[in-house]
A and B are shown apart, each in its own frame.
Chain A
Amino acid sequence: MSLVAGPGRGGTGSGQLPDELGLVVQKHVAYIQSLDTRRDELESHLTEHLRISGIYWGLTALHLLGQPAALPPEEVIEFVLSCLHDNGGFGAAPGHDAHMLYTVSAVQILAMVDDFVELEMRVPNGKMKIARYIADLQQPNGTFAGDEWGETDTRFLYGALNALSLLNLLPPQRKDEPPLINVTAATDHVKACQNFDGGFGVAPGAESHAGQIFTCLGALSITGELDSFLGEEGKDRLGAWLSERQLDDSGGFNGRPMKLVDVCYAWWVGSSLAMIGKMDWIDKKKLTEFILRCQDPEEGGIADRPGDMVDVFHTHFAIAGLSLIGYPGVMLVDPA
């Protein structure tokens, strides 16, 4: 299975669509399915280090479009399990090293496809094995490393909490057992990443960034501290910052002040707004129009901006963005 690479070519260069054009659902489904058969393109090999995440993005998009079986579940599970290492971590593809990001993708896929049934059948105590790999990456200051080489990032922290929660192995989910991770230290780290503008950065002291805001809110939401930590004033400040990400001319979002719009922020910004209950602070109609303009109406798939090359990452986040807005025909998604 190969699901990351963009198509070689196709689509109109202009990206100008008639106003009435809606979501070309069948074309997107076909596009995601086609990614499996692109081994004749160099791009498909050059993006192998993302493959398992690509499958997660494709699969989630298909679920949101109401066609979860468009990728055969058995093949998906087969592929995912072929990425599992002895240490309980997953690589992006067979032969690639284990890493937090791909372990999280694997857990998300297995939870979605069969709720870990096949995993538990084939790997004794498989869920616990994965959880231990994740837990071992927690650092003394509460944050998480991506792998044994040590890079830390709030993305990994959120990923760890998210995966453990899906595995049902977070400390509050197994109160009678010794905790696998230090939740307090993790949330303290998240809180230390907050800035005066209400946003969060990749580490304490770093500039606010929409992607990091999503991961930090997601983490706080999993640990149940979102409301108590932010408070009304905090939500107002953060909501103001997030709502300023929508740009007047295009209706799309950027990820930081004075940067270009990008369709994937429809998800990072949109879900963050949803988590703090401020979805009404942006113009949903304008955002919808922007997302639809990023589609390749002929070959399917969605790009970062109108007229650019499509890929499965942006296809997924664009569709997830539409889901937040309640676009007809797209299933509702949980923002965290």
Chain B
Amino acid sequence: MSHGVPRVGGEGEGGVASSQDKIKARIKAYKELEKDVTDRIKNEDYSNTTFQLTSTLLSQNPEYYTIWNHRRLLLQHVFAREFSTSSPDNPTAEGTLSTSDDHADTTAAQKAGLSPSQHEISLLISEDLSSLLPLLKQYPKCYWIWNHRSWLLTKATTHLPAASAIKFWQGELALVGKMLALDSRNFHGWGYRRTVVEAIERLGDISMAEKEFEYTTKMIKTNLSNFSAWHYRSQLIPRLLNERNARREARAKFLDGEFELITSALYTDPYDQSLWFYHQFLMATLDTTNPQAGIILSPCTNSDRKMYLEQEVTSVREMLDGAEDCKYIYQALLEYARRWRDLGGEVEKTDMKEWLGELRKLDPLREGRWRDLEKVLGLEVV
């Protein structure tokens, strides 16, 4: 699957022969390396050399999932060996995968409450995590690299005391923060962040909801148009308020604050989809037909709902001034008007007809959808 790779024209006349030789040589080297690694694993050669060879092969082809499996097989073997043989007078055999056996290290390990084998395992994991960083930066969308990191981290969790394991997860949180600063939409990055946060919460028996909420605030302040950060924020809020044991008053204040934040952002750029996404989320928390949104205001009566709908329709209508060609505004108006009506409110049909008319003009691609909406709203010309 190639994404975003430009199609190239034919090679220059003179270069064809020599570049074909080069390609042949590269294929040969690659196939030899592949065979070498595969044979070694078949022969259960779990040496440092084999480990290094998997690194070389993976740096040429990080999508080669079987080689990642080989690498884990090898590490697993080394971990098991550590536990079965490790004792002060049983040094690691020549050529096997191990880290420096510095005695100062060992003392530090004892202080941290690690046995010598746990110490060795922790060093191996930490080395593998850092040696894979350049590859991750080069291929931030490669499943298998993220996958391998999370495997290493689960091994740390299994083999090490919680206090040591949590340090690894905290390191990953810092890393994923950096990765998301580079690409705020990286799907793998956000998924990894969820896994990391869950692990820290579990190991440390703490909640990260407040901290993560602050993180989304920071991300949004850096760039308002940060869709994934708005999404993450929407996921955190219901839990955050529950953990705060927030009463109705606090919840109402919170909701008002969020409306203020998003409304001022929308006034700045009503054409930004990520902002509308969040506005829709806030409105959806007030919509009884949409349980997936979670709850902010509680208890919440129909008159509360109508109050917010009225407030938001008024404010969204004002956004039209200077942005008459912004289809998201008409979409929001029609959607909120529909909910207003479902709650027994009156809506001027002429207003709705006008909004729908604008929408059709601005967005002819989705004409079928607007036609269905017209029916649902009962605006058809009879």
Which of B4-12, B200-208, B301-309 faces chain A? Answer: B4-12
In the complex, residue of chain A having the shortest beta-carbon distance to the beta carbon of B5: A309
In the complex, residue of chain A having the shortest beta-carbon distance to the beta carbon of B23: A42
In the assembly, what is the distance between CA of A46 and CA of B11, in Å? 21
Chain B neighbourhood of A256, CB < 8 A: 185, 227
Given A42-B26, A283-B365, A304:B234 Cβ within 8 A: no
State whether the Cβ of A88 lies closer than 8 Å to any Cβ in chain B.
no
Minimum CB–CB distance for A161 against chain B, Å? 21
Q: Are B2 and A97 in contact (CB under 8 A)?
A: no
In the complex, per-residue mask of A23-63: 1 if CB is within 8 Å of any chain B CB, else 0: 00000000000000000111001111110000000000000
Chain A neighbourhood of B66, CB < 8 A: 49, 91-92, 95-97
Minimum CB–CB distance for A330 against chain B, Å? 21
Chain B neighbourhood of A286, CB < 8 A: 365
Q: Are B366 and A246 in contact (CB under 8 A)?
A: yes
Q: Are A40 and B23 in contact (CB under 8 A)?
A: yes
In the complex, residue of chain A having the shortest beta-carbon distance to the beta carbon of B272: A258
From B7, B60, B185, contact of A259 by CB (8 A): B185
Q: Are A13 and B7 in contact (CB under 8 A)?
A: yes
Which of A69-77, A103-111, A130-138, A195-203 faces chain B? Answer: A195-203
Q: Are A309 and B7 in contact (CB under 8 A)?
A: yes
Q: Are A207 and B231 in contact (CB under 8 A)?
A: yes
In the assembly, what is the distance between CA of A19 and CA of B154, in Å? 54
In the complex, residue of chain A having the shortest beta-carbon distance to the beta carbon of B195: A203
Q: Are B4 and A308 in contact (CB under 8 A)?
A: yes
State whether the Cβ of B169 lies closer than 8 Å to any Cβ in chain A.
no
Chain A neighbourhood of B372, CB < 8 A: 280-281
Which of B85-93, B102-110, B174-182, B287-295 faces chain A? Answer: B287-295
Chain B neighbourhood of A209, CB < 8 A: 187
Q: Are B191 and A203 in contact (CB under 8 A)?
A: yes
State whether the Cβ of A160 lies closer than 8 Å to any Cβ in chain B.
no
Chain B neighbourhood of A13, CB < 8 A: 6-9
Q: Are B64 and A308 in contact (CB under 8 A)?
A: no
State whether the Cβ of A221 lies closer than 8 Å to any Cβ in chain B.
no
Which applies to chain A's interface (DSSP): helix, strand, loop or mixed?
Answer: loop
In the assembly, what is the distance between CA of A67 and CA of B45, in Å? 47
Q: Are A195 and B292 in contact (CB under 8 A)?
A: yes
In the assembly, what is the distance between CA of A207 and CA of B227, in Å? 9
Q: Are A308 and B5 in contact (CB under 8 A)?
A: yes
Q: Are A207 and B369 in contact (CB under 8 A)?
A: no
Which of A47, A92, A207, A281 has its CB near the most chain B CB atoms (within 10 A)? A207
Minimum CB–CB distance for A5 against chain B, Å? 9
A282-330 interface (Cβ within 8 A of B): 282-283, 286, 296, 303-305, 307-311, 313-314
A190-242 interface (Cβ within 8 A of B): 194-197, 202-203, 205-207, 209, 233, 236-237, 239-240
Minimum CB–CB distance for A67 against chain B, Å? 23
Minimum CB–CB distance for A113 against chain B, Å? 23
Chain B neighbourhood of A6, CB < 8 A: 2, 5
Chain A neighbourhood of B315, CB < 8 A: none
Q: Are B273 and A42 in contact (CB under 8 A)?
A: no
Q: Are B2 and A49 in contact (CB under 8 A)?
A: no
What is the number of contacts between chain A and chain B, taking CB atoms within 8 Å?
A: 165
Which of B124-132, B243-251, B277-285 faces chain A? Answer: B277-285
Q: Are B2 and A308 in contact (CB under 8 A)?
A: yes
State whether the Cβ of B72 lies closer than 8 Å to any Cβ in chain A.
yes
In the assembly, what is the distance between CA of A309 and CA of B369, in Å? 34
Chain B neighbourhood of A257, CB < 8 A: 227, 273-274, 277
Minimum CB–CB distance for A256 against chain B, Å? 7
State whether the Cβ of B228 lies closer than 8 Å to any Cβ in chain A.
yes
Chain B neighbourhood of A96, CB < 8 A: 65-66
Q: Are B190 and A95 in contact (CB under 8 A)?
A: no
From A40, A151, A236, contact of B24 by CB (8 A): A40
In the assembly, what is the distance between CA of A197 and CA of B234, in Å? 11
In the assembly, what is the distance between CA of A167 and CA of B190, in Å? 35
Given A307-B6, A310-B7, A282:B151 Cβ within 8 A: no
Minimum CB–CB distance for A6 against chain B, Å? 6
Q: Are A309 and B24 in contact (CB under 8 A)?
A: no
Chain B neighbourhood of A203, CB < 8 A: 191, 194
From B27, B69, B191, B234, contact of A42 by CB (8 A): B27
Minimum CB–CB distance for B30 against chain A, Å? 6
State whether the Cβ of B52 lies closer than 8 Å to any Cβ in chain A.
no
State whether the Cβ of A124 lies closer than 8 Å to any Cβ in chain B.
no
State whether the Cβ of B361 lies closer than 8 Å to any Cβ in chain A.
no
In the assembly, what is the distance between CA of A323 and CA of B259, in Å? 44
Q: Are A149 and B24 in contact (CB under 8 A)?
A: no
State whether the Cβ of A248 lies closer than 8 Å to any Cβ in chain B.
yes
Minimum CB–CB distance for A213 against chain B, Å? 14
Chain B neighbourhood of A308, CB < 8 A: 2-7
Given A197-B277, A207-B187, A237-B290, A262:B69 Cβ within 8 A: no
Q: Are A49 and B365 in contact (CB under 8 A)?
A: no
In the assembly, what is the distance between CA of A197 and CA of B290, in Å? 9
Minimum CB–CB distance for A229 against chain B, Å? 12
From B7, B151, B231, B289, contact of A296 by CB (8 A): B7
Q: Are A196 and B234 in contact (CB under 8 A)?
A: yes
Chain A neighbourhood of B367, CB < 8 A: 283
In the assembly, what is the distance between CA of A209 and CA of B24, in Å? 40
Q: Are A149 and B147 in contact (CB under 8 A)?
A: yes
In the complex, per-residue mask of A71-100: 1 if CB is within 8 Å of any chain B CB, else 0: 000000000000000000001100111010
In the assembly, what is the distance between CA of A313 and CA of B8, in Å? 19
- Show 29 residue pairs from A and B whose CB-CB distance is below 8 angstroms, ordered by the A residue: A6-B2, A6-B5, A9-B9, A9-B10, A10-B7, A13-B9, A42-B26, A46-B60, A46-B63, A49-B65, A50-B63, A149-B72, A149-B147, A203-B194, A205-B235, A206-B191, A207-B190, A207-B232, A244-B366, A251-B365, A256-B227, A257-B277, A258-B225, A262-B3, A280-B372, A282-B365, A283-B366, A286-B365, A311-B1
8 tightest A-B contacts by CB? Answer: A280-B368, A196-B293, A281-B369, A309-B5, A313-B1, A196-B292, A283-B365, A97-B66
Query: Other than the known A42-B30, A205-B235, what 16 A-B pairs have Cβ atoms closer than 8 Å?
Result: A6-B2, A6-B5, A9-B11, A13-B8, A40-B20, A40-B27, A91-B66, A195-B292, A196-B234, A196-B284, A202-B191, A248-B365, A256-B227, A258-B227, A278-B368, A303-B2
